[in-house]
Amino acid sequence: MSVLSRLGRPIVGAPMAGGVSTPLLVAAVSDAGGLGMLAAGYQTPEGLAADLVHVRDLTDRPFGVNLFVPVPVDRAALQAQVDDFTARIAGDARALGTAPGQVSWGDTDHWEAKVALVETLAPPVVSCTFGVPDASTVDRWRKVGCEVHVTATCVPEADAAAACGADVIVLQGQEAGGHRGTHDPSAHPQPVDHLGLLETVRSRTDLPLVAAGGITTAGDVRRAVAAGAAAVQVGTALLLSTESGASATYRAALRSPQHTERVLTRAFSGRVAGAVANRWIREHADAPAAFPVVDQLTKPLRRAAAERGDVEAIHIWAGSGWRAAQERPAGEIVRELAG
Ligand SMILES: Cc1cc2nc3c(=O)[nH]c(=O)nc-3n(C[C@H](O)[C@H](O)[C@H](O)COP(=O)(O)O)c2cc1C
């Protein structure tokens, strides 16, 4: 029986990279009968290993780890745009008392080391976003007992996830907070919501499907399950939870009545993400499509802005239901969502 089908509650706590998915949050979601997910993105392999051990200390329940699949960036095509962007944000950086970050065009996310770490530490679930792992990697993980989840944002990506041998497909709708898991960032498929995706993909595969994007109430969960989802994956609903690692500035921005619009933007990282609109997005909407290079450039600025409490220059990742996020223990949120 799959890990997903054995959950007491059909709620996956979305992996949220950048410090939001703390081991405490992961364990709280799993202890409430859901599936907590660690986020390996941006982490060093050593940091990830320590977090994995920490979660195992905190809970005996199943949990998972999420990896960014590396996507090659075309340096020759993008270098001039990146230089131009770097020059444009120099003034913002000075105003924040910092400088644009150092850029590295290679695999800065340590994919190979993390693949091997997952194989060694064998968490019950490993999930991937931004692409599909090759079949031999999926095979290595399954041999050590991991259940493999792969994110898709459109039908061809769901087909690719099934073809690589994934056990579960995570269907991420356009309402989702944070980065879209699009496999080819230069492709522009028509964005679809999670119910639309479920409807189309359900008829193409028997694999269990997890629905993600804008799910913040028990009613949303019921509708996704009625449409064929084996579980839902929620991120935004947990952002303000007690155990979330969201910074004080991020929390204040999510609560601020002045911020009223949510958009899809690549202004912070070079990859499209769902975020609450602020000044940075308005001024840098044309950032080059160069992830993670743009992310590296803006990181010191976002960090400085967070330290100063400046909500206009941080990335306020959020799904369409951000107004419904609650400041409560994550276990209570999971129980309420499950109804
Ligand atoms: C702050 C934040 C960080 C995220 N980081 C990741 C990540 O590291 N890996 C991933 O697969 N998805 C990530 N996501 C997307 C979630 O997996 C999920 O698709 C999304 O949260 C669902 O939409 P919702 O936020 O409206 O619930 C992130 C989402 C948020 C809000």
Q: How far is the CA of 129 from the centre of ligand 1 (A)?
A: 10
In the prediction, which pLDDT does 185 show? 82
Give me the pLDDT at residue 186, please: 78
Give the model confidence (pLDDT) of 64-111 as tens digits.
Answer: 999 999 998 999 999 999 999 999 999 999 999 999 999 999 888 999
If we measure between CA atoms, which residue out of 179, 112, 205 comes closest to residue 317? 179
pLDDT tens-digit profile of 259-315? Answer: 999 999 999 999 999 999 999 999 999 999 999 999 999 999 999 999 999 999 999
Pairing between strand 273-276 and 178-179?
antiparallel
Query: Does residue 189 surpass a pLDDT of 90?
Result: no
Peptide bond into 300 cis (omega under 30): no
Tens of pLDDT, residue by residue over 271-284, are 999 999 999 999 99
How close is the Cα of 80 to the center of ligand 1, in Å? 30
- As beta bridge partners, residue 37 has 64
pLDDT digits (tens, 9 = 90+) for 147-168: 999 999 999 999 999 999 999 9
Distance in Å, CA 212 to ligand 1 centroid = 8
> Average pLDDT in the 213-237 region?
98
- For the four alpha carbons of 311, 325, 209 and 68, in that order, the dihedral sign comes to positive
Residue 13 corresponds to which tokens in the numbers above? 């706590």
Tokens representing 87?
């020059």
**CA 200 to centroid of ligand 1, rounded, Å:** 22
Decide if pLDDT at 183 tops 80.
yes
Q: What is the mean pLDDT of the chain?
A: 97
The pLDDT value recorded for residue 1 is: 76
- The rounded Å distance from CA 79 to ligand 1 centre is 28
Among 135, 169, 133, 137, which Cα is nearest to 153's? 169
The Å distance, Cα 318 to ligand 1 centre, comes to 8
Q: What is the pLDDT of residue 106?
A: 87
Choose which residue among 69, 149, 170, 236 to substitute to test ligand 1 binding: the one with the highest number of ligand atoms within 8 A of its C-beta: 236
For residue 237, which atom of ligand 1 is closest to its CA? 27
Ligand 1 atom closest to the Cα of residue 212 is: 22
| pTM for this entry | 0.98
- 317 CA distance to ligand 1 middle (Å): 8
Instruction: Give the domains, in start order, of the chain with CATH numbers.
Output: 4-70+107-239+325-338 (3.20.20.70), 75-105+260-315 (no CATH)
Atom of ligand 1 nearest to the CA of 41: 8
Above 80 in pLDDT, residue 187?
Answer: no
Closest protein CA for atom 4 of ligand 1: 16
Q: Which tokens is 311 given?
A: 């909500």
Whole-number Å distance between alpha carbons of 94 and 206: 54
Listing from the earlier edge strand, what are the strands of the sheet with 273-276?
178-179, 273-276, 262-265
Query: How many angstroms separate the alpha carbon of residue 14 from the centre of ligand 1?
Result: 6
pLDDT class of 137 with cuts at 50, 70, 90: very high
Q: If DSSP states are collapsed to H, E and C, what string results for the chain?
A: CCCHHHCCCCEEECCCCCCCCCHHHHHHHHHCCCEEEEECCCCCHHHHHHHHHHHHHHCCCCEEEEEECCCCCCHHHHHHHHHHHHHHHHHHHHHCCCCCCCCCCCCCCCHHHHHHHHHHHCCCEEEEECCCCCHHHHHHHHHCCCEEEEEECCHHHHHHHHHCCCCEEEEECCCCCEECCCCCCCCCCCCCCHHHHHHHHHCCCCCCEEEECCCCCHHHHHHHHHCCCCEEEECHHHCCCCCCCCCHHHHHHHHCCCCCCEEEECCCCCCCEEEECCHHHHHCCCCCCCCCHHHHHHHHHHHHHHHHCCCCCCCCECCCCHHHCCCCCHHHHHHHHHC
Please report the pLDDT score of residue 328 as a whole number: 98
Count CB atoms within 10 A of the CB of residue 1. 5
What is the best residue among 12, 16, 174 to mutate for testing ligand 1's pocket, by most ligand atoms within 8 Å of CB? 16
Q: Which atom of ligand 1 is nearest to the CA of 319?
A: 26
Q: In this predicted model, what pLDDT tens digit does every residue of 24-51 receive, in sequence order?
A: 999 999 999 999 999 999 999 999 999 9
| Smallest CA separation from ligand 1 atom 30, residue | 178
Does pLDDT of 190 surpass 90?
Answer: no
Q: Which atom of ligand 1 is nearest to the CA of 215?
A: 27
Question: Ligand 1 atom closest to Cα of 320?
Answer: 26
Pocket of ligand 1 (CB under 6 A): 14-17, 20, 39, 41, 66, 129, 151, 172, 175-178, 181, 212-215, 233-237, 317, 319, 321
pLDDT at 44: 97
Tokens of 257: 């009545």
Query: 16 C-alpha vs ligand 1 centroid, how far in Å?
Result: 5
